[in-house]
């Protein structure tokens, strides 16, 4: 059975895949997946990923295709459905972004989690409770927790459709950058890349214990996941020169600076010459806020190389990662 949207009759072929959503939540007013770093942003926007402007929203009986207004060139903020991030005052928990249709237009709301890795417990059960702690109505994710403002405890609130999770970079602010991917979309996810390098020429370490590279808290990247089963991948390269017989490795710590989570880790006994070692992580971390730390470990006196000051041409140790967000 067809129904009328902004561009004529359409079929509900997308319903089982989460309902039609032509948008991503972005910290940029004009780009759904901005390549430039978005830092210290105080507004989030619904930005279309193509030519469509439809978002299925619940009307009390069915999921109805609503045409969302989007005019990035307008001076009126109401023409781009902005979400004020001022309510994100607790900087240690993620916030879910929901959308509903009211008074002929879309409106949004942010709801805080209970902790960095868990939503406020919902009192409903499967199949209406999604594994990520959200409600699910006819295959579409929505609000479920009465204590967080749903219609009533123990009941779904499908009027509020879930579209994204954000994590504050500071009170009332969010970030989507090469260092921190703090916006996680429910649909239309794309690979978002992260990386960190250390431009220190060299540093030394001689202990057989994992630590953050160069003992620097800056040597990590961070991200947030709103849904379970989302892929994350990372690689790390460390260059060094050490005394003969020293054994050197680099790793990747998921939410740890002392425990390696990389599944593939190279190690080498030094012969006194410059060498490189690498590590690789692939996984689906649990929902919530996470970081990936660049780690190092040795069992002899070792000089690690950041970029060696460019003495012998381009050289750079570092960590790179990507997340579907």
Q: Read off the pLDDT of residues 121-144 as tens digits, 9 standing for 90 and up.
A: 666 666 677 778 898 888 899 998
- Which pLDDT value is given to residue 270? 67
Residues 148 and 265 in one domain: no
Residues 169 and 51 in one domain: yes
Cα dihedral: 121, 125, 128, 132 (round 10): 40
Using the 3D structure, point to which of 137, 155, 188 is the last residue of a domain.
Answer: 188
Residues 243 and 310 in one domain: yes
- Which pLDDT value is given to residue 313? 63
Neighbours of 98 (CB within 10 A): 24
Residues 180 and 210 in one domain: no
CB-CB contact of 65 with 20 (8 Å): yes
Using the 3D structure, point to which of 157, 188, 219 is the last residue of a domain.
Answer: 188
- Which pLDDT value is given to residue 108? 96
Neighbours of 314 (CB within 10 A): 7
Using the 3D structure, point to which of 188, 207, 226 is the last residue of a domain.
Answer: 188
Domain that holds residue 121: 2-188
Residues 90 and 20 in one domain: yes
Taking 70 as the pLDDT cut, the residues of the chain under it are: 1-18, 75-79, 121-127, 145-154, 243-245, 269-272, 311-313
Residues 128 and 152 in one domain: yes
Residues 123 and 247 in one domain: no
CATH number for 252:
2.60.120.1340
- How many structural domains is the chain composed of? 2
């Amino acid at each position: 059975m067809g129904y009328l949207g902004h561009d004529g009759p359409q079929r509900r072929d997308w319903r089982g895949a989460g309902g039609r959503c032509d948008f991503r939540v972005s910290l940029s007013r004009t780009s759904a997946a901005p390549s430039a770093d978005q830092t210290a942003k105080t507004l989030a926007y619904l930005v279309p990923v193509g030519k469509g402007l439809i978002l299925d929203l619940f009307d009390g009986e069915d999921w109805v295709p609503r045409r969302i207004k989007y005019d990035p060139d307008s001076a009126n903020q109401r023409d781009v459905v902005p979400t004020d991030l001022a309510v994100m005052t607790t900087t240690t928990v993620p916030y879910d972004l929901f959308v509903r249709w009211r008074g002929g237009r879309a409106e949004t709301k942010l709801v805080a989690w209970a902790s960095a890795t868990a939503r406020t417990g919902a009192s409903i059960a499967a199949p209406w409770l999604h594994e990520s702690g959200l409600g699910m109505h006819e295959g579409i994710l929505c609000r479920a927790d009465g204590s967080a403002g749903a219609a009533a405890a123990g009941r779904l609130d499908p009027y509020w459709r879930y579209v994204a999770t954000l994590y504050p970079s500071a009170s009332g602010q969010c970030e989507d950058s090469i260092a921190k991917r703090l916006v996680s979309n429910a649909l239309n996810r794309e690979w978002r890349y992260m990386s960190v390098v250390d431009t220190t020429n060299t540093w030394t370490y001689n202990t057989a214990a994992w630590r953050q590279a160069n003992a620097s808290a800056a040597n990590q990247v961070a991200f947030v996941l709103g849904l379970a089963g989302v892929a994350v991948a990372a690689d790390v390269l460390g260059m060094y020169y050490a005394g003969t017989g020293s054994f050197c490795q680099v790793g990747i710590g998921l939410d740890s600076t002392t425990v390696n989570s990389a599944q593939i880790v190279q190690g080498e006994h030094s012969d006194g010459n410059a060498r490189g070692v690498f590590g690789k992580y692939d996984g689906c971390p649990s929902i919530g806020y996470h970081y990936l730390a660049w780690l190092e470990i040795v069992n002899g006196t070792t000089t690690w190389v950041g970029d060696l000051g460019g003495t012998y041409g381009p050289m750079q140790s570092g960590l790179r990662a990507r997340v579907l967000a």
